[in-house]
Amino acid sequence: MSAPLVQLAGIRKSYGSATDVEVEVLHGVDLDLAPGEFTALIGPSGSGKSTLLNLIGLLEPPSAGSYVLGGRETAKLPEDELTALRATEIGFVFQFHHLLPAFTATENVLMPGLIAHGPVTRERREAARELLGDVGLGERLDYLPRKLSGGQQQRVAIARALSLAPPLVLADEPTGNLDTHSADEIFALMRRFNARSGTAFLIVTHDPRLARRCDRIVELVDGGIAGDRPNLATGGNN
């Protein structure tokens, strides 16, 4: 059995420690994610799901506890190494796309590589165009975001998240602003890349339909893990 890709132990997160009022949002979370897992993270609003995703994505540090990513204890890493790890090991897909409006679909997909590796090469440009073809946008490579539908913009965001072939993709309500048909297409797209490349996905969703199509369902309630089960309907066995 392979080592976990993500290992969280006793993770706590508090806000307001510099003031008289300190609020703890996460209370001793323990969670492992294996390479290639396709996991839903569910729970009511305010349960700490987005905070947990931000911690796993190295966007903010925990207040206490241990976070090991790919065998590296993140608390011991300097900021420049954390930045490099975030750029190359983790892809992000958000509810609101966050595409750069002045750049084409291809240029948006190239952005993580530009940040991580410098000037764009012909090979990287061709790889970005191929990736956009894989997500069904081969005829819209040079479109600006405003010329794309919401579902098409989310396809660009998924291609961007996968552009450096990260072992982990974090998706925060990736279908939250889409109609049912577009949501199903986006979900199927993530499923296909998971099966093809072995990229692990952790998906925050309020949609029980989509959660039931993940291999594992983790439930967060009031800042703690309230449930963690394989989805036998999909053959999940983790």
For the stretch 180-197, pLDDT in tens is: 887 888 888 889 889 988
Percent of the chain scoring above 70 in pLDDT: 94
Query: Which residues touch 81 (CB under 8 Å, ≥6 apart)?
Result: none
Residue 8 lies in a domain: no
Residue 86 lies in a domain: yes
* pLDDT over threshold 60, residue 237: no
Q: Are the CB atoms for 144 and 103 separated by under 8 Å?
A: yes
For residues 187 and 173, give the distance between their C-alpha atoms in angstroms, rounded to a whole number.
Answer: 11
Residue 177 lies in a domain: yes
* pLDDT over threshold 70, residue 114: yes
* pLDDT over threshold 70, residue 230: yes
Average pLDDT, the chain: 88
At residue 37, φ and ψ (nearest 5 deg) are -70, 150
**CATH assignment of the domain containing 98:** 3.40.50.300
Joined tokens for residue 7: 């290992």
Residue 123 lies in a domain: yes
* pLDDT over threshold 60, residue 213: yes
pLDDT tens per residue across span 7-53: 999 999 998 866 667 889 999 999 999 999 999 999 998 899 989 99
Q: Are the CB atoms for 54 and 217 separated by under 8 Å?
A: no
Structure confidence at residue 238 (pLDDT): 43
Structure confidence at residue 100 (pLDDT): 92
pLDDT tens per residue across span 132-142: 998 888 999 99
CA distances from 56 to 65, 125, 184 (A): 12, 29, 26
* pLDDT over threshold 70, residue 104: yes
* pLDDT over threshold 90, residue 2: no
Residue 15 lies in a domain: no
Residue 5 lies in a domain: no
For residues 93 and 173, give the distance between their C-alpha atoms in angstroms, rounded to a whole number.
Answer: 8
Structure confidence at residue 46 (pLDDT): 87
Tell me which of 87 and 62 has the higher pLDDT: 62
The residue-averaged pLDDT of 219-228 equals 94
Can you give the length of the chain in residues? 238
At residue 203, φ and ψ (nearest 5 deg) are -120, 115
Give the CB-side neighbour count of residue 22, counting CA atoms within 13 A: 8
For residues 69 and 212, give the distance between their C-alpha atoms in angstroms, rounded to a whole number.
Answer: 26
Residue 23 lies in a domain: no
Q: Are the CB atoms for 10 and 55 separated by under 8 Å?
A: no
pLDDT tens per residue across span 71-99: 999 998 999 889 888 888 998 887 777 88
Q: Which residue has 């008289």 as its token pair?
A: 20
Structure confidence at residue 235 (pLDDT): 60
The widest CA-to-CA distance across the chain, in whole angstroms, is: 56
Q: What is the DSSP letter of 1?
A: -
Give the structural domain span for 87. 36-61+79-234
Structure confidence at residue 18 (pLDDT): 63
Q: Are the CB atoms for 1 and 178 separated by under 8 Å?
A: no
Residue 106 lies in a domain: yes
For residues 204 and 202, give the distance between their C-alpha atoms in angstroms, rounded to a whole number.
Answer: 7
Domain count, the chain: 1
